[in-house]
Amino acid sequence: MSKLITENHFSDADAFYAALTDAHRELSTVDSERLNARLILLLANHIGDKQVLLEALDIAAQLEQ
Amino acid sequence: MQKTYSNPIYPYRKSADQEAQRPVHHPVIIIGAGPCGMAAALDLAKQGQASVILDDNNTVSVGSRAICFSKRTLEIMDRYGCAQPMVEKGVTWQKGKVFFKQEQVYEFDLLPESGHKLPAFINLQQYYFEEYMVNQIAKEPLIDLRWMHKLVELDSSAEGNQLKVETEDGVYALSCDYLLVADGANSKIRTELGLESKGQVFQDRFLIADVVMKADFPTERWFWFDPEFHPNQSVLLHKQADDVWRIDFQLGWDADPEEEKQEAKIRPRIEAMLGKDVEFELEWASVYTFQCRKMDDFIHNRVIFMGDAAHQVSPFGARGANGGVQSVENLAWKLARVLKGQAPATLIDSYNEERQHGAAENILNSTRATDFITPKNDISRAFRDETLRLAKHYPFARSLVNSGRLSMPCDYQHSSLITKSSALNTGFDAGIAPGFVCLDAPIGINGEDGWLLEQLGNRFVLLYNGEGIDNDELKTLSSISDDLVLLDSRELEDKEGMLAERYCMSGGQGYLIRPDQYVAAKFEQLSREQINSALQRALGYQSAQENP
């Protein structure tokens, strides 16, 4: 059974999206990659649950979708 | 180069077998007197089984190679009678530091759990480890260790093996029921039998430099990722006995191994690391590449592969020698019982079943460490570097830093030899689960201080709490098998309460413990029928049946 939440779960979706793109705005591609890596690691630890993480990875890897 | 250690020379001795008119037959012949070959002979001797070891050399390991031995390996060595000199000579450590570029990222303390006879890890040069095993073998009348006897021809069939052995006095013939092969990662016997060890070759080279220095470094494991003194690579510093320090430099695939082995090339690397004012002498150096691979089946006819010949890992996590010795102890008790007619020949197949699982776990762990240490592409490197940066400030990221997950014994909970608690409908879930290795505990026995693990091993043991069990029941239990010893926990003084804490037995409950100190089954209420059935299963009589 799926555990990953794929319905809207944000308290403020627009604010998050703006903060995410703002954080990257001034960065080179290399630094953006670094920021993304840090963000993924921090969020992954916060989620913790292996099944949720693997489901998210699985969807993320479906690049053609 | 070597100054702190001179290799003992074990002379060639002519065996009476060389004078025999017909090939002399031995139940077990072992090829290779390394850690695994010698462990096999020692373990078999503990089970009352004689063996012959053939080795084509006349000394222990030249240069150190394996250095880190885990508690489980030391517990096995203790059962053989040779852990004490290893622990005395070895360096016990528990602290480590991780560095990234010029900064320390974090430090750790393995904080060993109390109540174990043996330490979590020791660092000891492989030559000492082997020398103490040779010394122990000299005390074992059941072991015939033949140096400078080289196997040159093997004819293996389903019935047994015919061998030709070369010595300075010429070639002689032998035969054996079982041939145990521990002739190393590049096993000649494996190749000659047309068998393969399959897996991954890593495109990387490492320099091992063992140096003697009196410098005042603490006894800690230091690991650098991408340090300024050796950019884009990793470096490990670890202390061994005799003030010998192991320094392991990652060199990359393009390094020239012959050139990198030269002292003139090594010295500047170490000076860059330690500073020009630190005095050191180079003891031994080697450049190596590694593979993570194993054979699909460790058994071919009656030839059984062990150690690096059967399964090989990268050095990160100290899983080569440790995993090898743990494979050997899995095999020895089974082979001894098959040879004595106490178990079906198919019991040996469970060595392959259980140790394929152990080898896969070791390969998985060492591959993961290798991938962290040597990122395979730019994005992997970005994740690795950011993990290290985060680890300096945020504890969660330290759990991702992987410079080797140190060897722990694997479990056999899904093995066909193990009676699962669900099969017995037992509610006795506390303590150690079936398929897991027993834990030590400080005890008193017959008025003397001792350790629980000293009471287990070499035969089956029923460890139980005898409260409420009457003498008639006990008589029934003790007649189950000559290979089963009964041990009432009430006869053991639980000196620090660890026996109760780790085994959690109340009156009438008990564990069936295998000769390799693994739990085969546990019982809510001791019953002859259940114990006998679990024992039969552990001996491979019921392995064809479903194990729910």
> Do B312 and B167 share a structural domain?
yes
Minimal C-alpha gap between A8 and chain B (Å)? 27
Task: Please state the φ and ψ torsions of residue B116, each to the nearest 5 degrees.
Answer: -125, 140
B34-80 pLDDT, tens digit each:
999 999 999 999 999 999 999 999 999 998 889 999 999 999 999 99
- Closest to A41 (Cβ–Cβ): which among B378, B379, B387? B387
Q: What residues in A contact B395, CB-CB < 8 Å? A: none
In the stretch 24-43 of chain A, residues with CB closer than 8 A to chain B read: 33-34, 37-38, 40-42
Average pLDDT over residues B506-525: 97
- Long-range CB contacts for residues B534-537, cutoff 8 Å, separation at least 24: B534/B419, B535/B460, B535/B480, B535/B481, B535/B484, B537/B416, B537/B417, B537/B418, B537/B419
Last residue of some domain: B333, B354, B370? B370
Q: What residues in B contact A40, CB-CB < 8 Å? A: 383
- Closest to A41 (Cβ–Cβ): which among B378, B379, B397? B397
B353-370 pLDDT, tens digit each:
999 999 999 999 999 999
Q: Contact at 8 Å (CB) between B156 and B193?
A: yes
Q: How far apart are CA B327 and CA B315, in angstroms?
A: 17
| B548, part of any domain | no
| B307, part of any domain | yes
| B441, part of any domain | yes
Last residue of some domain: B370, B392, B411? B370
Does the beta-carbon distance from B386 to A45 stay under 8 Å?
A: no
Question: For residue B544, what pLDDT band results from cuts at 50, 70 and 90?
Answer: very low
What is the residue-wise DSSP string for B140-173?
Answer: -TTEEEEET-EEEEEEEETTEEEEEEEETTEEEE
As a whole number, the mean pLDDT across chain B is 94
> Do B148 and B45 share a structural domain?
yes
> Do B433 and B345 share a structural domain?
no
Is the CB of A47 inside 8 Å of chain B's CB atoms?
Answer: no
Among B77-81, B424-428, B448-452, B501-505, which stretch is predicted with the lowest mean pLDDT?
B424-428
Q: Is the pLDDT of residue B196 over 60?
A: yes
Average pLDDT over residues B14-35: 98
Provide the CATH number for the domain around residue B45.
Answer: 3.50.50.60
* Domain boundaries, given as residue ranges, for chain A: 28-65
Domain count, chain B: 2
Provide the CATH number for the domain around residue B471.
Answer: 3.40.30.120
Does the beta-carbon distance from A41 to B385 stay under 8 Å?
A: no
Task: Please state the φ and ψ torsions of residue B383, each to the nearest 5 degrees.
Answer: -65, -45
Does the beta-carbon distance from B389 to A38 stay under 8 Å?
A: yes
Candidates B379, B383, B387: best to mutate against A (most CBs of A within 10 A) is: B383
B242-289 pLDDT, tens digit each:
999 999 999 999 999 999 999 999 999 999 998 888 899 999 999 988
Which pLDDT score is estimated for B94? 85
**ipTM over 0.90 threshold:** yes
Residue span of the structural domain in which B511 resides: 421-538
Among B121-130, B202-211, B437-446, B503-512, which stretch is predicted with the lowest mean pLDDT?
B202-211
Q: What residues in A contact B382, CB-CB < 8 Å? A: 33-34, 37
Last residue of some domain: B353, B370, B387? B370
> Do B435 and B357 share a structural domain?
no
